[in-house]
Amino acid sequence: MENVNLSVKVAGVSFKNPIIAASGTFGFGDEYNELYNVGCLGGISSKGLTLHGKDGNEGIRVWETASGMMNSVGLQNPGVEHFIQEGIAQMRRFGNVLIANMGGHSMDDYITGASMLSNADIDMLELNISCPNVKSGGMAFGIKAEVAREVVKEVRKVCAKPLMVKLSPNAENIVDMALACEEAGADALSLVNTFQAMAIDIHKRKPVFNNVYAGLSGAAIKPIALRMVHSVCKNVKVPVVGMGGIYTAEDVLEFIMAGAQAVQIGTVNFNNPLAGRIILDDLVRLCVKEGIADINEIRGVCL
């Protein structure tokens, strides 16, 4: 069993295994660490940060859907400063790769936040470009490749840390988006974030969410996420971290065979709070069964 090599490298950073807890689903790791040693995971991507912190959205924030869920948390977070002062030390206890996930509503926020985090003790910056861009009328940075290119280029200038850009599946063209981010200097790409979706409360005759639309995640989206990861991997040279509906070790192999360097797990943590640990154990067993001595062997076999 111990002979399976699960360690992977993403943008020069070594992960002891390819399982990373996805941003926003795992807090800063401490809650899940009450249930199992979250240090066993390859890494943790922090709750999405914004420069000044946010209270998040009002009203219903989570809603179950067929094989998935929608959320409209709205990036509630304590802000970059607070994260640097308290969150980092807390996450460092786990001994695995520390990824700071950061979003923003304006170019300035992105630049200031990224330069602060670049000087802090993080292993990697994951840039979430799905947030609505206040200046361009609420259209997300993650929709148009040209808008994304600008923000990545600017952030790259101030960021000395490995920079991973997290793509939105709502992008007009996911491959163009990936290429633009790569060209603008991203060291790695992660995808997918949640799909813009809607639910209606037919009794109240109103949208469930105050913001009308919210983000869909979970097993429901896996087939689309896998397709996007596959088509991005076919087109870029930088490493890709895949996610979207990964629930099992089999799912992990699918994403790696589609070309992903590593994966993130989000919604499954809510279905089973020990999911990270279980998927990891199952992955070792599955590799043994499938005759995979090194997880890196099978990467991209379906490209």
Ligand X SMILES: Cc1cc2nc3c(=O)[nH]c(=O)nc-3n(C[C@H](O)[C@H](O)[C@H](O)COP(=O)(O)O)c2cc1C
Catalytic positions are 131
Q: Which of 168, 170, 194, 261 binds ligand X (CB under 6 A)?
A: 194
Q: Are 15 and 262 in contact (CB under 8 A)?
A: yes
From the list 59-67, 90-98, 130-138, 270-278, the region that binds its own copies by CB under 8 A is 59-67
From the list 82-90, 123-131, 152-160, 207-215, the region that binds its own copies by CB under 8 A is 207-215
Structure tokens at 66: 């067929």
| Interface with ligand X, residue 217, by CB under 6 A | yes
Structure tokens at 251: 């799912």
Q: Are 46 and 76 in contact (CB under 8 A)?
A: no
Structure tokens at 52: 């000044």
> Which string of x and - marks every residue 63-102 that binds its own copies (by CB under 8 A)?
--xxxx-x--------------------------------
> Which string of x and - marks every residue 100-139 that binds ligand X (by CB under 6 A)?
-x--------------------------x-----------
| Interface with its own copies, residue 301, by CB under 8 A | yes
| Interface with ligand X, residue 261, by CB under 6 A | no
Distance CA 269, CA 257 (A): 23
Site residues for its own copies, window 265-294 (CB under 8 A)?
Answer: 290
Closest approach of Cβ 70 to ligand X, in Å? 8
Which residues make Cβ contacts (< 8 Å) with residue 171, sequence separation at least 6?
Answer: 142, 143, 144, 145, 148, 177
| Interface with ligand X, residue 25, by CB under 6 A | yes
DSSP string across 249-301: HHHHHHHHHTT-SEEEE-THHHH-TTHHHHHHHHHHHHHHHTT-SBGGGGTTT
Residue 246 binding target from ligand X, its own copies, other proteins, none, CB below 5 to 8 Å by type? ligand X
Which of helix, strand or coil describes residue 60? Answer: coil
From the list 11-19, 78-86, 181-189, 190-198, the region that binds its own copies by CB under 8 A is 190-198
Nearest to 103 by CA among 182, 35, 47: 47
| Interface with other proteins, residue 185, by CB under 8 A | no
Q: Which of 14, 35, 82, 212 binds other proteins (CB under 8 A)?
A: 35
Nearest to 43 by CA among 64, 29, 57: 29
Nearest to 96 by CA among 12, 24, 18, 15: 15
Q: Which of 16, 61, 153, 227 binds its own copies (CB under 8 A)?
A: 227
| Interface with other proteins, residue 1, by CB under 8 A | no
Q: Which letter does DSSP use for residue 72 in this model?
A: -
Closest approach of Cβ 261 to its own copies, in Å? 16
Looking at the Cβ atoms of 27 and 259, the one nearer to ligand X is: 27
Which of helix, strand or coil describes residue 104? Answer: coil
For residue 200, how far is the Cα from the chain centroid?
Answer: 27
Query: In the complex, which residues of this chain contact other proteins (CB under 8 A)?
Result: 24-27, 31-37, 40, 47, 55-56, 58, 60-69, 71, 73, 76, 218-219, 247, 267, 269-274, 277-278
